[in-house]
Amino acid sequence: IAPFREGWSLQMRVANRRRALLVEIEARLILVLTDLQHPDRLDYFALPLQFSTISFLALTWTLVHPITPDSPFAGMTAADLTTRRAEVIVILKGVDEGYMQPVITRHSFRFDEIVWGGRFTRAFSGDGGKMRLDLDGLSRFTPVDAPERLPTAP
């Protein structure tokens, strides 16, 4: 959960570990929450992204879901994520430029893996005109003060 413009957002950073370039990348985020009225049921929410497609994935891509009044995160606290056993599913789809074959991957992040108040640090550097991606630094962040409860209106 990170600052975004004048508000807050859910951010996730992805990178390509393959040797071939990935093109025409699409991303989807799905939030899964336990239903408070019926604990044996799950509620699913598609999370709109700032950008859901990019032409190619050269270094990193930070997926950003702005937390607006319409977001299921609006008004939530870090404790709410735990209570509702929140899980965010990331689905990426693209084309391997070398083989022109589709590539699909997915990953999920549970409530205890979501950082409440952090800003990603740069995971790449330039050296002699070449960019170097540090995959080990992909999840590195700097802590930031976050509100106890996410706002419900701007």
- 9-41 pLDDT, tens digit per residue, is 999 999 998 888 999 999 999 999 999 999 999
3-class SS of residue 111: helix
Where residue 119 falls (left for φ over 0; alpha for ψ -120 to 50; beta otherwise) is beta
Which of 34, 28, 94 has its CA nearest to residue 65? 28
- State the amino acid at position 139 in one-letter form: S
pLDDT tens per residue across span 104-148: 999 999 999 999 999 999 888 887 878 888 888 889 999 999 999
- Separation between Cα atoms, residue 110 and residue 13, nearest integer Å: 15
Higher-confidence position of 65 and 128 = 65
Which of 34-43, 50-59, 84-93, 145-154 is least confident?
Answer: 145-154
Helix segments in the chain, DSSP class H:
78-83
The encoded tokens of residue 39 equal 């604990």
- What pLDDT is recorded for position 123? 87
Residue 154 confidence (pLDDT) above 70: no
3-class SS of residue 154: coil
pTM over 0.85: yes
- What pLDDT is recorded for position 125? 82
- Separation between Cα atoms, residue 80 and residue 148, nearest integer Å: 11
Q: How many other C-beta atoms lie within 10 A of the C-beta of residue 25?
A: 20
pLDDT grade for 100, boundaries at 50, 70 and 90: very high
Residues 6+ apart with CB under 8 A from 116: 1, 78, 81, 146
Longest Cα–Cα distance of the chain, Å, equals 58
How far CA 78 is from CA of 34, 82, 122, in Å, comes to 15, 7, 25
